[in-house]
Amino acid sequence: MSGQEHIGFSPAQVQRLGELSIRGGPEPHSFAEVAERDRTFEDLQRALTLDNLNRLDGLRESGAPLLGRLARNLADHLREEGFVEVTTPILIGKGSLQKMGLDPDHPLWRQVYWVDRSRCLRPMLAPNLYYLLGHLQRIWELPVRIFELGTCFRKETKGARHLSEFTMLNLVELGPEKEPEERLTELAHSVMGRAGIEFDLETTDSEVYGPSMDVVVDDVEIASGFAGHHRLDENWGITDAWVGWGFGLERMAMVLESSAQIHRFGRSLIYLDGARLNIQRQSSARQGAEA
Ligand code: ATP
Ligand code: MG
């Protein structure tokens, strides 16, 4: 064997380091010998296992995972800003999707989990919020401000930034007192400021709303928003302008932790609050090294 031959971590080692490291897999390494590589792997595995144990010990101490803290923090903030929290059904009717412009030709349609012929698990909160606004605009003076924090479901095949079940924070203000686009931008700053995350705003083209705005951190989309009058409004009896944002809370948790893996922060039996669960204290951290 030539001394120049490249020896990297084995696929099993790369996988294990990826599981244990909140930031994703190991940097590419090159070793002179297998024994050196395995020693390095053992060291890294031990250190990363300790990180995960420390995280779990911290969680035991605080009792409060990041996602829950974020949700409570943002809900408190929105209430302080005059928004009313609402809780609407997770099972929604086919008619609601159709009123959102979704039909079998729409890309989102293929991502919907149907529970029977006429009902599905909501892929978004917007139809329910539209529905509530239809009533509340009669009952309360404008501006009407509501938000919901809850699970949405989409069949996803896209990997590290998509979950099949994720937490959406959808806020909407009907009848904003400022220029809708100015208010939309203000609300993005308000929510992201409270979350403590720096971001950029980008104009984009949403599958549901058409021209809209995104909150982006590096190249990760955190939220999509819309300002103004929309052609869907008439399906819901809405005539005033509105502004609304849908934030993905696990995406926020992921960027707050500088992680590349959203699955750590979602509903899981493998991770708890970002920490991998198939670990043990002390010497068993040495197990799992496979060439
Ligand atoms: P993407 O283009 O990243 O698939 P999207 O534009 O389809 O997202 P929206 O419908 O705009 O998503 O939903 C609002 C927010 O909800 C997104 O900005 C994102 O933060 C979050 N989100 C959407 N789909 C998922 C998912 N499958 N897993 C986790 N978060 C998601
Ligand atoms: Mg979007």
Mean local confidence (pLDDT), 215-230: 96
Residue type, 209: Y
Of all protein residues, the one whose alpha carbon is nearest to atom 9 of ligand 1 is 224
Of all protein residues, the one whose alpha carbon is nearest to atom 25 of ligand 1 is 162
Pair (54, 153) in one structural domain: no
The range of the structural domain enclosing residue 16 comes to 11-64
Pair (17, 141) in one structural domain: no
Number of domain units in the chain? 2
Q: Which helix (DSSP H) or strand (DSSP E) does residue 75 occupy?
A: helix 66-80
Pair (59, 73) in one structural domain: no
Distance 223 CA to ligand 1 centre (A): 7
pLDDT at 284 over 80: no
Q: How confident is the model at residue 206 (pLDDT cuts 50, 70, 90)?
A: confident
Mean local confidence (pLDDT), 218-236: 96
Ligand 1 atom with the shortest distance to the CA of 204: 6
Residue % of the chain over a pLDDT of 90: 86
Of all protein residues, the one whose alpha carbon is nearest to atom 31 of ligand 1 is 248
Mean local confidence (pLDDT), 152-173: 94
Report CA torsion sign: 18, 23, 29, 33.
negative
Pair (136, 219) in one structural domain: yes
pLDDT of residue 24: 77
- Residue list, ligand 1 pocket, CB within 6 Å: 124, 154, 156, 162-163, 166, 168, 221-224, 246, 248, 250-251, 262
pLDDT at 2 over 50: no
Pair (41, 159) in one structural domain: no
Give me the torsion for CA of 19, 154, 123, 248, rounded to 10°.
30
Distance 248 CA to ligand 1 centre (A): 6
**In terms of Cα–Cα distance, which of 81, 144, 93 is closest to 118?**
93
Ligand 1 atom with the shortest distance to the CA of 163: 28
Pair (246, 190) in one structural domain: yes
Distance CA 136, CA 156 (A): 34
Pair (155, 38) in one structural domain: no
Q: How confident is the model at residue 17 (pLDDT cuts 50, 70, 90)?
A: very high
Counting ligands in written order, which one lies closest to the CA of residue 125?
Answer: 1
Mean local confidence (pLDDT), 93-117: 95
Pair (124, 33) in one structural domain: no
Pair (83, 195) in one structural domain: yes
pLDDT of residue 158: 74
Parallel/antiparallel/unpaired status of strands 275-276 and 210-217: unpaired
pLDDT of residue 4: 57
Ligand 1 atom with the shortest distance to the CA of 206: 6
Distance 188 CA to ligand 1 centre (A): 16
Among 15-24, 58-67, 217-226, the minimum mean pLDDT is found in: 15-24
The β-bridge partners of 171 are 147, 245
Distance CA 229, CA 138 (A): 18
Q: Does any domain span residue 284?
A: no
Pair (246, 170) in one structural domain: yes
Of all protein residues, the one whose alpha carbon is nearest to atom 12 of ligand 1 is 224
pLDDT of residue 129: 98
Residue % of the chain over a pLDDT of 70: 95
CATH number at residue 180: 3.30.930.10
pLDDT of residue 197: 98
Of all protein residues, the one whose alpha carbon is nearest to atom 4 of ligand 1 is 162
Q: How confident is the model at residue 26 (pLDDT cuts 50, 70, 90)?
A: confident
pLDDT of residue 211: 82
Tell me the average pLDDT of the chain: 93
As given in the structure block, the two tokens for residue 30 are 């090159």
pLDDT tens column, 121-145: 999 999 999 999 999 999 999 999 9
Burial of 270 (0-12, 13-18, 19+ CB in 10 A): exposed
Distance 181 CA to ligand 1 centre (A): 21
Distance 109 CA to ligand 1 centre (A): 14
**In terms of Cα–Cα distance, which of 14, 60, 70, 75 is closest to 272?**
60
As given in the structure block, the two tokens for residue 53 are 């144990």
pLDDT at 3 over 60: no
Q: Which helix (DSSP H) or strand (DSSP E) does residue 184 occupy?
A: helix 180-195
Q: Indicate the top mutation candidate among 154, 163, 166 to test ligand 1's pocket, ranked by most ligand atoms within 8 A of CB.
A: 166
Of all protein residues, the one whose alpha carbon is nearest to atom 21 of ligand 1 is 248
Pair (50, 83) in one structural domain: no
Pair (131, 95) in one structural domain: yes
Asked if 91 and 120 touch (Cβ cutoff 8 Å), the reply is: yes
Of all protein residues, the one whose alpha carbon is nearest to atom 1 of ligand 1 is 221
pLDDT tens column, 243-272: 999 999 999 999 999 999 999 999 999 999
